A and B are shown apart, each in its own frame.
Chain A
Amino acid sequence: MTLTIPALRARSARRRRRRPLIVSLAVAFLVLIAVTGLLAPVLAPHSPDATSLLNSLLPPGTEGYWLGTDSTGRDVLSRIMYGARLSLLAPLGVVLLSGVLGITIGLLAARAGGWADAVISRGMDIVFAFPSLLLAMLVVAVFGPGLTAPICALAVSYTPFVGRVVRSVALQEGARPYMESYRVMGFGELWVTLRHLLPNVMPVLIAQSALAFGYALVDLASLSYLGLGVRPPDADWGSMISQARSAILQGEPWSGLLPGLVVLLTVVSVNVLGEHLGGSIGRKQSEGV
């Protein structure tokens, strides 16, 4: 109904301001995963690489191997814990790199304007035309398997994702009268940009980065799943799933399904968090706070 009823609007606004339970759950899960990854040597019940053919393909719930074992008898829980390190650090690297690149390029485009802005925007369009996974595979073809090259490639791939919003926020903010007054007072362009534009860009940057983290995690896990990412003995969740392929066809899917579930829950949590951050920014802006 387009008829606005102020009393109803006030009520739904109140409801929105509470932090939803789902966001708290997402944060809790991410903290849990990060802590288990960080403290894996302390917390993990087994060595992630200890094989034992006697104990291969144990189902979840087995005493001592609570999430079961994979086809070579390695403890799935321990491997998920250790796998969290690369699975989370690599996308974090992507996000940090693309954040720095995105801020630089977005601010540059917004502040320079004119043909520089046009060239940068066009460039971002071109990068956007490369699906991120394709770019990652291309650099694997160039530099061979491993995570370093794909991390850099994905960072470039997600730069437009960050750069576009940074640019638009910077343009919006830069058009406000107070920016002009700083310039009139003789403050340098760089100082104004770093001191006043950057803080305004940060919230939207954080929200975009959270979403990009989820995408990057999926891309990197996909690469590892395809055997193009981490190289043994290193392992991440994607490579665990890849190694479980034959076990799945034998009807023992748990050593693949469990890391898959962890990937899924991590990405859901990150997306929930990112959307919550993005949403609250949108609300603050529309409310004029």
Chain B
Amino acid sequence: MLAKKTLARKEAPDGGAEDRRDALGVSRLSLAVGAGERAIPLLADVTVRVGRGETVGLVGESGSGKSLTARTALGMLPRGARATGSVTVSDVDVLSAGRKTLRDLRRTRASMIFQDPRASINPVRRIGDYLTEGLRARGVPARAAAERALDLLDQVGIRDPGSAVRRFPHEFSGGMLQRVVIAGALSTEPELLLADEPTTALDVTTQAEVIALLKNMQQVHGTGMLFVTHDLDLAAAICDRIYVMYAGRIVEESVSAALFTAPAHPYTRALLEASPSVHGDKVAIKAIKGRPRALAESPSGCSFRDRCPLAGDDCAASVPAHRPHGTSLVACLHPEQVTP
């Protein structure tokens, strides 16, 4: 935790005592399902922080636990899961919160945007219903909620909101539907937005529009955002800071700008080399050998060591602690071999 101070901390605009709190604070979070011998670990020692108004990326392959981490922020744990550590949203302690507190948190403080808008909106209810549901739940009168829905649709660039609220999800394109989801997510003026691969299911051209809209809305509303993605380039383009996750652990935390020039973890570098980059010169794309691991099936010591070209015998001894290297915090024993 101490090392965190090496990172530039972005203060909230008006800097009041109350507002100094982070939008999201995940600290040493571990998660497992089942008990005793048969327990399956899913997350280990995850620490993530999102300041107010800040955009933070959470990057990793599928199965790395990034979506799971985002969901714990809303108290949505898998069935039978036990969590240790702490998760706070604004000033609410999520892990110890009761059902009602969680509900209030979800209604007012934090919203989630899912990957596929077609799957995350109830297909048999009207768009207007979708938008007003959250507002009505927190006690906004029906008429005010309906007006707010129209206003929100207008804000996210849906033409003719008056007829849009009466239509059903299947009558919209994926991109338009994700705009509706964004409108719904912002309808409650949350302090934290959890975006779980919000553009992966969309066409490439719509992706850019939706990202621009998301960024814009986030700035207008002053919302902190945790942007979960497998796309390092995309994360770097829109995020202030980035966490890289591998097999249920955070392996590197860095300022976005520095991540490309000076990755500190071999996994981050491998990710960069595996994607055709528009930033650097043309280089051969290198695939990462092996397949991504979940925490439960990863080797002892450093989870990445069985796929890591730099791994030595020392890597098997214990899970590497996070330590500063350049502008990064990295969980690797040999960061100097990645970027001197």
Contact = CB atoms under 8 A, between A and B. Distances in A.
User: Per the CB under 8 Å rule, do A and B touch in the complex?
Assistant: yes
Interface string A1-23: 11101111001000000000000
Contact of A2 (B63, B119, B294, B297): B119
Interface in A1-59: 1-3, 5-8, 11
A81 to B, nearest CB: 47
Interface of B is mostly: mixed
Interface string A221-233: 0000000000000
B297 A8 contact: no
Nearest to A2: B119
Given A1-B76, A5-B294, 6 more contacts: A3-B67, A3-B68, A3-B78, A5-B78, A7-B296, A7-B297
Contacts of A2: 119
Interface residues of B, number: 14
Interface in B268-327: 294, 296-297
Contacts of B294: 5-7
B71 interface: yes
B202 interface: no
B33 interface: yes
Interface string B30-49: 00010000001010000000
A3 B78 CA distance: 8
B40 A1 contact: no
B273 to A, nearest CB: 25
Q: Report, nearest first, the 5 A-B pairs whose CB atoms are least far apart.
A: A7-B296, A7-B40, A7-B294, A1-B78, A6-B294
B79 interface: yes
Given A1-B78, A1-B79, A6 B63 contact: yes
Interface in B51-83: 63, 67-68, 71, 76, 78-79
B27 to A, nearest CB: 22
B94 to A, nearest CB: 17
Interface string B73-113: 00010110000000000000000000000000000000000
Contacts of B79: 1
Contacts of B78: 1, 3, 5, 8
B119 A8 contact: no
B247 to A, nearest CB: 11
Contacts of A11: 40
A183 B294 CA distance: 47
Nearest to B78: A1
A8 B71 contact: no
Interface in B8-36: 33
Given A1-B79, A2-B119, A8 B67 contact: no
A285 to B, nearest CB: 24
A286 B40 CA distance: 26
Contacts of A8: 33, 40, 78
B257 to A, nearest CB: 31
Nearest to A11: B40
A256 to B, nearest CB: 46
Interface in B99-140: 119
Contacts of B296: 7
A132 B232 CA distance: 62
Nearest to B114: A2
Nearest to B70: A3
A7 B43 CA distance: 12
A23 B68 CA distance: 37
A5 B119 contact: no
A8 B296 CA distance: 10
Contacts of A3: 67-68, 71, 78
Contacts of B71: 3
Nearest to A7: B296
Contacts of B33: 5, 8
Contacts of B119: 2
Contacts of B63: 6
A8 to B, nearest CB: 7
Contacts of B68: 3, 5
Contacts of B42: 5, 7
Contacts of B67: 3
A5 B78 CA distance: 9
A8 B297 CA distance: 12
B151 to A, nearest CB: 30
Contacts of B76: 1
12 contacts: A1-B76, A1-B79, A2-B119, A3-B71, A5-B33, A5-B294, A6-B294, A7-B40, A7-B294, A7-B296, A8-B33, A8-B40
Contacts of A7: 40, 42, 294, 296-297
Nearest to B40: A7
B228 to A, nearest CB: 12
A159 to B, nearest CB: 35
A6 B40 CA distance: 11
Nearest to A3: B67
Nearest to B115: A2
A30 B40 CA distance: 40
B241 to A, nearest CB: 24
A8 B34 CA distance: 10
Contacts of A1: 76, 78-79
